[in-house]
Structure 1
Amino acid sequence: MTTYSAVVTTGIYCRPGCGARPLAENVRTFELPAAAEANGFRACLRCRPYRVAGPIAADVPELLCRAVQLIIAGALDADTEAALGARLALSPRHLRRLFTQHLGVTPDQLARSRRAHFARRLLDDTDLTVADVAFASGFGSVRQFNRDMRLVFLASPLELRSRRRRTDRLVADGGLEMRLPFAPPLHWPGLLALLAERAVPGVESVAQGVYRRTISLDGEAGLLEVRAGGADHLLLRAHLPFWEGLIHVVERIGRIFGVDADVAPAETALAADPVIGPLIAARPGLRVPGAWGAFEIAADAVLRQYAAGPRVRQQMAALAEVAGQPVPGIGHGLTRLFPSAETVAVTDLEGVGLSAQPARALRALALAVAADDTLLDGGSALADLVPALGAVPGVTEDTAQRIALRLGHGDAFPAATTAAHADAAVAAWRPWRAFAATHLAVAELSAVTA
């Protein structure tokens, strides 16, 4: 877990490794930049903590982790803490108390800090206008943007842009390029191998070390490309129809690669395990892959109940071809958007090439997701999500666990993986079973391709 050091005599906070050497008695520590800012400190101009990933501590209660994920997804962009609390069955007062107790910051303060930090990165990395940066970062108006940037950084957006370093600016031959920071290391080859094995032809591709996928923004198509960058960041190139709400595009693509994840506690806890320990040593920094579209990965998981991976990829490609919106002219073999649950629910799935049983299960899943937009939104606890998915006709507990793993539940563990190991060994991997399952999956892929 990253710990930020704030110096009371200067009013500045720094990330680990900064060259500043204050007296110990003048230093306060915070686990989140937002907490330091809420206590009146501003970011160091030397180490620039807003440019690095700031994961949530591993010992934070699961309820708060879910709340943070909902905030990252935009729950407080146009809504209130009361609405967020209602989604989690908490009063606004209790929600704020929990945030303050465990994170040192209120939900609104965390949301404001994330927007401001993202905007600062855009001011550094890109040549977007100030107005475009404001709306790309989730601010409701330029006035709100200017006010919050002054609160967080004590300077206007134009002043902040004038301070950027020559090496900050990224120039792309088409599209907008920016950094996806992470706490190193990150095992890029292992992540790419998992994503390649599950990539939906026509929608996603992995080629020459670059992950690409089509996305939909308010019904219009875009293309995202991610490749390795430096030791502490990936590089994202976005080709989008507009920049409004870019912060949520970047957060979602970042979740696929776990850039905000802190894997150090899991690696430390399982380093001596006879099964997982050697896998960690071979692939340090491997992250649990997330998902761009929750329904997309859920559909994949359901179809894997009835067919092996290569066949499922063909079925997913056929589904996208028949029901997905065409995307002309993007190239790289990408031609479709993956269809929504609402569209799949009314698609002739037998006509796509599915036999009766998987077609019934996939249609039932699509109907359930279309009827309840909170089912896969990441706001449910694992203990609630698995039974809810299991209640969908044709969805097994193993499939529910597969879906939960990709949605970010750290202790999700598919039963098929359990069958290959003794119950005692699997129990010893709690609460990091999703991390263990990911290492096992990558090791299996490596053995197949060796």
Structure 2
Amino acid sequence: MDDDHCYLAVRSGDARFDGVIFVGVTSTGIYCRPSCPAVAPKRENTVFFPSAAAAQGAGFRACKRCRPDATPGSPEWNARADAVGRAMRMIADGAVDRDGVAGLSAALGYSERQLQRLLTAELGAGPLALARAQRAQTARVLLETTDLSMADTAFAAGFASIRQFNETIREVFARTPTELRARSAHRDGSARLDTVGHPDGGPLAGTISLRLPYRAPCDLGHTFGFLGARAVPGVEEVTPDGYRRVLRLPHGTGIAELAPGDGPGYVRCRLRLEELRDLGTAVQRCRRLLDLDADPQAVAEVLGTDTLVAPLVAAAPGLRSPGHVDPAELAVRAIVGQQVSVAAARTVAGRLVERYGKPLTVPIGGPSGGLTHVFPLVETLAEADPQELPMPRGRARALVALSTALASGDIDLGPGADRDESAERLRALPGIGPWTADYIRMRALGDPDVFLHTDLGVRQALERLGHPGDGHSAATTARAWRPWRSYASHHLWASNSRAAPSPPRTRPRSAHRRTPHPTTKDTR
């Protein structure tokens, strides 16, 4: 988009571009999101930035009315597989705060100077500035929703010093931290800090409530249903309002409770963290889980014009492609669920959790405790005896091989992973065929353009629509759905649940596949 097109988005108040572009108003020195409710500035008084960090670096302060730093993330970083896209996903996950720019550069295979040049050319800011903008947003959440001391807030948000914290808050929000807290309209008493679950004086537990914005429409009912149907006992559970699960975070354990908002445009998120330093990372992982940074309009513009899937898109507007909070966990569960029903996969995964998972200090969820464990580490599963795992021996050996590769770093499924390389290495492991590798790529790596053309559920949905269900024909047809084929897969799966039950079918076997393809009741 050139500046003239950006200004048209501002004049129309188009919320689709929130988080994609930021408008700086030279006459006031503030920057806004395109949908800011204030009167649109004159064209000659506007400059445009590709990131909040770039606007802050140019000396603009965040608008107090539209809060541009709290927009949904750009959907571009979900789709892009180049170094900049991978870097942005890692920065959002807190890589700079944990490992510094040197660690981020090394993980991407670039020098610090090369990475600085790449990010500055495309985003107008380097990795430190991008991470600083994220820390400022995390600090504001803590200031506005908790009674945490200023010093604890600074270090929990990832700042290295109180001075750096104070200077950043003043520069970004044009207020001191004390003023920002005093004027907050979001402290409703729902957020608090406590030590419940740590009677031995262990790490401080923080409970924080916040809103996760998204671009409308968003079919949250389908997303929560999808996750709830696959909830692993002890790690996940469905609640009366939504869904919650245990999180493994860089500095400790967390609990995430997610539910539809009281109004449109956001998801209610309640996080309980052992270490408040994990707040930013926990938020980003919850956003990836629910695919909240997606642009449903962009998806509909492609899929909604195809005569085959357009009726499905119209029947379920805003359908998302759920990701995952822990790519390694998702990969293990994909192996566990091969050739078994959803219920059976949940049972087997629950047994793995009970035997190899780390128990929580205090179970969460009533007297019986619906959440009891953290999902097992791949390092633990790599040392397991395949004969003792509750599954067929071939699948058990595949699970141990996968866990070994993940634990050793031979396969990277993190936010900065090269998707093509990771998928290729997955397919090279014994017991992992194309379907499993692609499913892991879709959900663990968050690739929006994966089409599971051999999946039985996809084939049944296509046949119901009058299309040949064979894999070759399906793959050929799906080329027109790029770059949103993951969403097409979800629309086809969703159409099966809306259709009347069909009689059981016998699936033909292929002599050329190394592992059987999953059935419609696999762990999708």
* Fold equivalence (TM over 0.5): yes
Select between 377-386 and 173-182 the one with higher mean Cα deviation: 173-182
Task: Give 2:244's match in structure 1, choosing from 212, 215, 219.
Answer: 212
Residue in 1 that maps onto 2:346: 313
SS in 1 for 2:190: coil
SS in 1 for 2:490: helix
**How far apart are residue 349 of structure 1 and its match?**
4.5
Q: Distance in 2 between matches of 1:208 and 1:373?
A: 41
Residue in 2 that maps onto 1:366: 403
8 Å CA contact 1:306, 1:358 repeated in 2: no
Query: Is 1:14 aligned with 2:32?
Result: yes
Residue in 1 that maps onto 2:85: 65
Paired residues for 1:30-109 under 5 Å: 30-57=49-76, 62-109=82-129
Task: Give the structure with higher Rg (CA).
Answer: 2
Query: Is 1:330 aligned with 2:364?
Result: yes
SS in 1 for 2:97: coil
8 Å CA contact 1:124, 1:169 repeated in 2: no
Distance 1:350 1:263, change over 3 A: farther
Select between 407-416 and 356-365 the one with higher mean Cα deviation: 407-416
Q: Deviations over 1:133-174 (max 9, x none)?
A: 223322233332222222322332112212212x55451588
Size of the alignment, in residue pairs?
Answer: 449
SS in 1 for 2:23: strand
Query: Is 1:439 aligned with 2:491?
Result: yes
AA aligned opposite 1:189: G
SS in 2 for 1:416: coil
Distance 1:49 1:128, change over 3 A: same
**How far apart are residue 318 of structure 1 and its match?**
0.9
Distance 1:69 1:238, change over 3 A: same
Q: Which runs of 5+ in 1 are unaligned?
A: none
Across the aligned residues of Structure 1 and Structure 2, the Cα RMSD in angstroms comes to: 2.5
Residue in 1 that maps onto 2:450: 412
Q: Distance in 2 between matches of 1:200 and 1:146?
A: 43
Residue in 1 that maps onto 2:259: 227
Q: Percent identity?
A: 39
8 Å CA contact 1:213, 1:334 repeated in 2: yes
SS in 2 for 1:205: strand
Paired residues for 1:49-448 under 5 Å: 49-57=68-76, 62-165=82-185, 167=186, 169=188, 171-172=190-191, 175-217=207-249, 221-229=253-261, 230-327=263-360, 328-331=362-365, 333-372=370-409, 375-406=412-443, 407-417=445-455, 420=469, 422-447=474-499
AA aligned opposite 2:125: V
8 Å CA contact 1:286, 1:439 repeated in 2: yes
Q: Distance in 1 between matches of 2:83 and 2:249?
A: 29
Distance 1:223 1:11, change over 3 A: same
8 Å CA contact 2:215, 2:296 repeated in 1: no
Distance 1:127 1:273, change over 3 A: farther
AA aligned opposite 1:343: T
SS in 1 for 2:276: coil
Q: Distance in 2 between matches of 1:296 and 1:373?
A: 16
SS in 2 for 1:79: helix
TM-score (norm. length: structure 1) = 0.92
**How far apart are residue 15 of structure 1 and its match?**
1.4
8 Å CA contact 1:138, 1:246 repeated in 2: no
Select between 64-73 and 413-422 the one with higher mean Cα deviation: 413-422
Q: Which runs of 5+ in 2 are unaligned?
A: 1-16, 195-206, 460-468, 503-524
8 Å CA contact 2:93, 2:280 repeated in 1: no
Distance 1:35 1:445, change over 3 A: farther
Distance 1:264 1:170, change over 3 A: farther
AA aligned opposite 1:395: I
